[in-house]
Amino acid sequence: MKERDVMSNRVLIPVLACLLAKAMPCCGAEQTFYVSPTGDDAAAGAAGAPFRTVHQSSVL
């Protein structure tokens, strides 16, 4: 392999890895969910419509 090819791979692979990491949905923005003993697990998990259990927030 030529030295130029090796250098381009040393740059290209980390750049592609960074782009892939940014594109993955699992690495998206954090969300805040609200839980209340009087909440409902069918609710949206918002301040005005909290979940009843913490488990429901991890299912989403």
- Among all chains, which residue has been given the structure tokens 């927030």? 57
Cα separation, 56 vs 60, whole angstroms: 7
**Alpha carbon 49 to its chain's center:** 23
13-53 tens-digit pLDDT: 777 776 666 666 665 567 889 999 999 999 999 999 999 88
* Sign of the CA dihedral with 35 first, then 39, 45, and 49 last: negative
What are the respective helix, strand and coil percentages of the chain, to the nearest 5? Answer: 50, 5, 45
Confidence of residue 2 (pLDDT cuts 50, 70, 90): low
- Among all chains, which residue has been given the structure tokens 């692979």? 13
Amino acid at 42: A
